[in-house]
Amino acid sequence: MIEDFHAVLQRRLRPGATTPLAVGFSGGGDSLALLRLTLDWAAARGRPVLALTVDHGLNPASQGWTADALAKARDLGADARALRWTGDKPATGLSAAARAARHALLATAAREAGARVLLLGHTADDRLEAARMRAEGSTTSDPRQWAPSPAWPEGRSVFLLRPLLAVRRQALRDWLTERGETWLEDPANADLGSARARARAALASEDPAVPPIPLDPSPPLAVEGEHALRLPRDASAAQVAAACLCAAGTTAPPRGDRLERLVTRLRSGDAFTATLAGARIVADAAGALFVREAGEGGRGGLAPLTLAAGETGVWDGRYEITAQAAIAIRALAGLARRLPADETAALKRFPAPVRPVLPGAIDAAGAISSPILAGDRAIRARVLIRERFEAATGFIDQEPAT
Ligand SMILES: Nc1ncnc2c1ncn2[C@@H]1O[C@H](COP(=O)(O)OP(=O)(O)OP(=O)(O)O)[C@@H](O)[C@H]1O
């Protein structure tokens, strides 16, 4: 087990990196084993480990569990931080909301600590349970060994690594017991009202074969563009969905029939323009261009962002912007006529569908500029579209350098 674990870390983590490794540590057995194994691996390589524990605030005892987890992590030699879910707790879909909040909190804390990789303790049992839940009609996905954080924009630049996917939960617990460890058993696991707990209970009486770890997705053969993405027309459905998602900067990729229809239309070779999931798709003989749909402004998309001096924020899920002085960011549509002459000239070099959805900045005096077009760097913009697409489609399959 330890050799396999080391092999996964060796394969996915950057040799010589000194940035911290973040570990999602719930206090349960799986993530306690993960934390111990990670600490041993990292100590030999001089890498700090940051244990992150999310308190969802759903059980009156959770504050105590979190304090115990922090104490345990520190005792083992990790830095440790507690993160609290303070948002509204919905009456329905609570576990999905808790999961989304957990991913956002973990990714933000990891990124702010300078970590590019967040390790999670999913095991072979999680894969078996997910498979059983899918067989009963659930949409639970198969946890991947390496994937970008699903939280957006909080998870930008953060990858999830699940190095224990081939290990059975019982093997981890035996390993911990041999080392005299004890851990928290989450009472939610015993609640047979949840599909997850039912799947777990059903598997307990079987000895199922663990399916092999799925391969990483194959990246598209070609992709171009920074503010819009250009893909070949025979891109796979997963690549087309990722291109829509990343070009649009949203959090929900297209799925199902609508995605299938778009893929079929792309394969047909016809020239067309379509919109899907906040993206505009312009298909011609050369390929398909995926760009933010300017009309989304009327449907609550492209929402303005206000930044204080020195503050960093993400506008429209596509641009990370830091300004030296206070500014408001809006779509360039409607502002372009007020740009300085040099920026107007620079704008002409962009494809027509890209121009209205670039960011425009309005300063305290009402002057208009665009961080993408301006020569000076008083406003810094990082374009997230291409980087997110590369993370989603398997171009980046190891811890990146920056
Ligand atoms: N409260 C928490 N704080 C920190 N990390 C956590 C917490 N809960 C879960 N994790 C991390 O996520 C891993 C998987 O946990 P669990 O199976 O409970 O989540 P899950 O709901 O299956 O997650 P996902 O839906 O993301 O696959 C844990 O081993 C741990 O690394």
Per-residue pLDDT tens over the stretch 386-398? 999 999 999 999 9
- In this structure, the answer to whether residues 55 and 70 fall within a common structural domain is yes
* Spacing, Cα 368 to ligand 1 middle (Å): 45
284 is annotated as contributing to ligand binding: no
Instruction: Judge whether 285 lies within some domain.
Output: yes
d(CA 23, CA 39): 10
Under 8 Å CB-to-CB from 289, ≥6 apart: which residues? 225, 228, 229, 230, 281, 282, 283, 351, 353
d(CA 163, CA 160): 10
- In this structure, the answer to whether residues 176 and 313 fall within a common structural domain is no
d(CA 346, CA 240): 29
pLDDT given at position 141: 86
- In this structure, the answer to whether residues 73 and 148 fall within a common structural domain is yes
* Spacing, Cα 24 to ligand 1 middle (Å): 7
Residue 370 to residues 7, 321, 322, 367, Cα–Cα distance (Å): 46, 11, 12, 10
What's the residue count for the chain?
402
287 is annotated as contributing to ligand binding: no
Which stretch of 103-112, 133-142, 228-237 has the lowest confidence by average pLDDT?
133-142
Q: Of the candidates 365, 369, 402, which has an alpha carbon nearest to the alpha carbon of residue 387?
A: 402
* Spacing, Cα 35 to ligand 1 middle (Å): 13
- Whether residue 225 is predicted with pLDDT greater than 80 in this model: the reply is yes
- In this structure, the answer to whether residues 198 and 255 fall within a common structural domain is no
Does 129 contact ligand 1 (Cβ within 6 A)?
A: no
Instruction: Judge whether 313 lies within some domain.
Output: yes
Residue 378: pLDDT band by 50, 70, 90 thresholds? confident
- In this structure, the answer to whether residues 312 and 193 fall within a common structural domain is no
Domain total of the chain: 3
What tokens were used for 189?
Answer: 């696991």
* Spacing, Cα 37 to ligand 1 middle (Å): 17
- In this structure, the answer to whether residues 12 and 153 fall within a common structural domain is yes
Average pLDDT over every residue of 143-157: 97
- Whether residue 305 is predicted with pLDDT greater than 80 in this model: the reply is yes
27 is annotated as contributing to ligand binding: yes
Probe ligand 1: pick from 122, 133, 141, 186, max atoms within 8 Å of CB?
A: 122
Average pLDDT over every residue of 228-249: 97
* Spacing, Cα 122 to ligand 1 middle (Å): 7
Q: Of the candidates 13, 359, 320, which has an alpha carbon nearest to the alpha carbon of residue 152?
A: 320
d(CA 339, CA 45): 51
Instruction: Judge whether 209 lies within some domain.
Output: no
C-alpha 23: how far from its chain's center?
15
Considering the entire predicted model, what is its pTM? 0.95
For the chain, the first-to-last Cα distance in angstroms comes to 30
- In this structure, the answer to whether residues 251 and 239 fall within a common structural domain is yes
Secondary element (H or E) of residue 118: strand 117-119
Does 30 contact ligand 1 (Cβ within 6 A)?
A: yes
Percent share of the chain, pLDDT over 90: 83
- Whether residue 191 is predicted with pLDDT greater than 80 in this model: the reply is no
d(CA 253, CA 388): 13
Burial bucket for residue 167 (CB in 10 Å: 0-12, 13-18, 19+): buried
- In this structure, the answer to whether residues 97 and 53 fall within a common structural domain is yes
Instruction: Judge whether 314 lies within some domain.
Output: yes
Instruction: Judge whether 212 lies within some domain.
Output: no
Residue 146 · residue 397 · CB < 8 Å: yes
Does 99 contact ligand 1 (Cβ within 6 A)?
A: yes
**What is the residue type of 147?**
A
Residue 94 has a CB neighbour count (10 Å cut-off) of 12
- In this structure, the answer to whether residues 159 and 189 fall within a common structural domain is yes
Q: For strands 21-24 and 49-55, give the pairing.
A: parallel
- In this structure, the answer to whether residues 275 and 179 fall within a common structural domain is no
Half-sphere exposure of 95 (CA within 13 A, CB side): 9
Residue-range definition of the domain harbouring residue 233: 229-297+387-392
Does 149 contact ligand 1 (Cβ within 6 A)?
A: no
ω into 153 cis (within 30 of 0) = yes
CA angle in degrees (0–180, nearest 5) for 270-275-278:
150
- In this structure, the answer to whether residues 182 and 44 fall within a common structural domain is yes
ipTM over 0.90: yes
Instruction: Judge whether 264 lies within some domain.
Output: yes
Atom of ligand 1 nearest to the CA of 83: 3
Residue 300: pLDDT band by 50, 70, 90 thresholds? confident
Residue 297: pLDDT band by 50, 70, 90 thresholds? confident
- In this structure, the answer to whether residues 271 and 317 fall within a common structural domain is no
| CATH number of the domain within which 183 lies | 3.40.50.620
Instruction: Judge whether 221 lies within some domain.
Output: no
* DSSP assignment string, 26-75: -SBHHHHHHHHHHHHHHHTTT--EEEEEEE---STTHHHHHHHHHHHHHH
pLDDT given at position 243: 98
Instruction: Judge whether 179 lies within some domain.
Output: yes
Does 48 contact ligand 1 (Cβ within 6 A)?
A: no
CA angle in degrees (0–180, nearest 5) for 218-223-227:
130
Probe ligand 1: pick from 21, 30, 31, 66, max atoms within 8 Å of CB?
A: 31
d(CA 338, CA 327): 16
Task: Give the 3-state DSSP-derived string for 131-157, with helices as H, strands as E and coil as C.
Answer: HHHHHCCCCCCCCCCEEECCCCCCCCC
270 is annotated as contributing to ligand binding: no
For ligand 1, atom 8, name the residue with the nearest CA. Answer: 26
Task: Please report, for the chain, how many H helices and E strands are present, in that order.
Answer: 11, 17
